[in-house]
Amino acid sequence: MEVALSKRRTERLLSIVVLLLSSRRYLTAEQIRAAVSGYPEEQESFKRMFERDKEELRDLGIPLETGRANQFDDDLGYRISRQDYELPEIHLEPDEAAVLGIASRVWQSAELAGAATGAALKLRAASGEADGEGRVTPPPGIQPRLTTQEPAFGPLWEAVRDRRPVTFDHLAIGRSEVKKRTLEPWGVVNRRGRWYVAGYDRARDAPRVFRLNRITGPVKFAGPPGSVKVPDGTDVRELVKDWDRPLTRDHTATLRVRADAGFALHRWGRVTEDAANPGWDLVAIDYSDPEWYAGYLAEFGPDVVVLGPPELREAVIRRLKGALT
């Protein structure tokens, strides 16, 4: 029953598209009703059904135009301009068709995977048989995958696409209380597999970057589409890069490392033999953040002893003592 209903609906929508595309004039709701099977007799339910159909067609991106159906009265009519509807001519070479296949598999989240696949199908439909699909095996290139597990991604993608401000709760790293933010989003960036949103933070009156998995709770729209203006020359990649700024290794650690362990330290440090302690090497190695680096050195357990500087040595000892409890 439900299948039959949905099938009739698809049939009706398809008929409307065909009808309005072939008509140069605006057709009134009544004219559409007369041409298309499946609308009920009763006026009110027809109106409701027709409204829903229009909405569904517009959601699919079908450019439904409205205008006066007749120069003598004010009846509203509908048509679809072929020029606005049709995908422009496009021809894909066989290698391009192969790349299209790989690109349409990049997104791993259902919605965007659906969107990318839908786009690829339209392009292949437009290109005709010369694209040689199925006859070219995909080149053994690199196959990227994009995942979007953060629930905030969907609404932020929409907000960026439609230029709408948003509000959300955000938990900054190292904090235990969430803060409400209002952001005019300029862009969404994936850097090293992590998603960030960059934009103008209204309360801070400055550009800010937020990592998506630190957004707690729902992302809500805080203004109408088109109300965000992205400043000219904004490069969201650069904003995120600055935020996640490259490390300057301006400290040097002196370590005693067991000669047969600490592979990474031996490889990336400056190694000399520790004459006083057979079986050990002395390693000098540069680092940037003492707290972070102390954590890294603690991982090596008894294979590494930090000789200096003292703050690094203390930080490692503190971690090891912490791990005892």
Partner 1 sequence: MVTSAERLRRLLALVPYVAARRVVGLAETAATFGMTERELIDDLNLAWCVELRAPEPYCPIDLSYEDGEISISQAESIARPLRLAADEASALLVALRMLAEAASFGQHSNSDHGDGDAVARLIAKIEDAAGAAGAASSQVSVQIDRPDARGLAAALSGALSARRRVHLRYYVPSRDEATERDVDPMRLLVVEGRTYLEGWCRRAEGVRHFRLDRVLSVDVLDVPAEVPETAEPADVDGGLFTASPSDVLVEIELSPAARYVAEDCPCEFVTDLPDGRRRMGLRTPDTAWLRRLVLRHGEDARVVSPAGLADEVRETAAAALAQYE
Q: Which of 42, 51, 65, 93 binds partner 1 (CB under 8 A)?
A: 93
Please state, in angstroms and rounded to a whole number, the distance separating the CA atoms of residues 190 and 150.
Answer: 12
CB of 41 to partner 1, least distance (A): 14
298-to-9, 131, 304, 319 alpha-carbon distances in Å: 65, 57, 8, 7
Helix (H) or strand (E) holding 195, with range, is strand 194-201
Q: Decide: is 76 part of the binding site for partner 1 (CB under 8 A).
A: no
Residue identified by tokens 């490392």 is 257
Residues 237 to 256: which contact partner 1 by CB under 8 A? 237, 240-241
| Candidates 8-16, 67-75, 245-253, 281-289; binding stretch for partner 1 (CB under 8 A) | 8-16
The two tokens of residue 87 are 């995908």
Considering the complex, state which of residue 66 and residue 143 has its C-beta at the smaller distance from partner 1. Answer: 143
Q: Parallel, antiparallel, or unpaired for β 280-287 and 270-273? A: antiparallel
Q: Is 133 in the site for partner 1 (CB under 8 A)?
A: yes
- Does position 263 interact with partner 1 (CB under 8 A)? The reply is yes
**Looking at the chain, how many residues does it have?**
325
Among 125, 179, 272, 309, binds partner 1 (CB under 8 A): 125
The yes or no reply on residue 222 touching partner 1 (CB under 8 A) is no
128 binds partner 1 (CB under 8 A): yes
Q: Write the single-letter amino acid at 35.
A: A
Give the number of C-alpha atoms closer than 13 A to the C-alpha of residue 70, restricted to the C-beta side: 8
Give the one residue of 48, 299, 309, 311 binding partner 1; rule: CB under 8 A.
299
Give the residue, chosen from 51, 84, 242, 289, that forms a contact with partner 1 under the rule CB under 8 A: 84
Q: Kindly state whether residue 259 participates in binding partner 1, applying the rule CB under 8 A.
A: no
Single out the residue of 64, 236, 255, 282 in contact with partner 1 (rule: CB under 8 A). Answer: 236
Least CB distance from residue 36 to partner 1, whole Å?
7
Q: Is 143 in the site for partner 1 (CB under 8 A)?
A: yes
Residue 95 binds partner 1 (CB under 8 A): yes
- Collapse the DSSP code of 317 into the 3-class scheme (helix H, G, I; strand E, B; otherwise coil) and give the result: helix
Residue 275 CA, chain-centre distance (Å), reads: 55
Q: Which one of 27-35, 70-78, 218-226, 246-254 is the stretch in contact with partner 1 (CB under 8 A)?
A: 27-35
> Among the candidate windows 187-195, 201-209, 219-227, 247-255, which touches partner 1 by CB under 8 A?
187-195
Q: In this structure, which amino acid lies at residue 210? A: F
Distance of closest approach, residue 14 Cβ to partner 1, in angstroms: 6
When asked if residue 323 is in the footprint of partner 1 (CB under 8 A), the reply is: yes
Q: Using CB under 8 A, which of the segments 43-51, 64-72, 115-123, 245-253 binds partner 1?
A: 115-123
Rounded to whole angstroms, what are the CA distances from 176 to 54, 171, 179, 197? 47, 7, 10, 21
Find out whether 69 and 27 touch, Cβ atoms under 8 Å.
yes
Interaction of residue 190 with partner 1, rule CB under 8 A? yes
Using CB under 8 A, pick the residue from 87, 218, 270, 309 that binds partner 1.
87
C-alpha torsion sign, points 21, 22, 26, 27: negative
259 CB-near residues (< 8 Å, 6+ apart): 279, 280, 281
- Residue 230 has which token pair? 């992205």
